[in-house]
A and B are shown apart, each in its own frame.
Chain A
Amino acid sequence: GAVVSQHPSWVICKSGTSVKIECRSLDFQATTMFWYRQFPKQSLMLMATSNEGSKATYEQGVEKDKFLINHASLTLSTLTVTSAHPEDSSFYICSARTARPGWPQHFGDGTRLSIL
């Protein structure tokens, strides 16, 4: 149980395009979903937290107009990188959890984004 599916796993696109990444909880209801970014040889850095039906809360230094997050249902959250540029190239990974106390975050497999 506790499977989180992330799609796509890898995307390459031209500078200036927008890219949408989906994160789905397959066998549980995710009241909260998280989006992380990881640069090479660095740790996962939290970008934003989204609670179902609410606006996402962004960590300091993360541009909310650049990284649009939608969490419209208990099983789906999306991250859209708008007008992507080469400096947005990174590994993006989502996680999800229920409201149950003590329940850990469960992670998707991540998306490797390369902007040319």
Chain B
Amino acid sequence: DQQVKQNSPSLSVQEGRISILNCDYTNSMFDYFLWYKKYPAEGPTFLISISSIKDKNEDGRFTVFLNKSAKHLSLHIVPSQPGDSAVYFCAARSRSNFGNEKLTFGTGTRLTIIP
């Protein structure tokens, strides 16, 4: 049962254009959402996050939008740069029975920026 889904395994975008990565979730108990970026042979790097009580968070070229009614979030990167080429993971936070933070990850979207 995949609670966090990234339905596009890959995406190619021209340099300078907007990249939009999508993520859907099913668990309404998630209270925080995060985006991580991963280069080959490295661990995921935190990019941006959003609380479930907000609908938008912006940090430089990166903006995350949350639509709670649709259980959908998206990451916008504008303008896209070649260095943005990586795998992007969406993650959603919940609390375990022990009260610990638990992140549930999507399967990732490979973004390729075409020069």
Residues of A within 8 A of B (CB): 2, 4, 6, 9, 32, 34, 41-46, 49, 51, 57, 59, 93, 95, 97, 102, 104-110
Contact = CB atoms under 8 A, between A and B. Distances in A.
B105 interface: yes
B96 to A, nearest CB: 7
Contacts of A110: 43
A101 to B, nearest CB: 10
Interface of B: 2, 4, 34, 36, 41-46, 49, 89, 96, 98, 100-108
A106 B108 CA distance: 17
Given A43-B106, A43-B108, A109 B96 contact: no
A57 B100 contact: yes
A43 B4 CA distance: 9
A43 to B, nearest CB: 4
A107 B100 contact: no
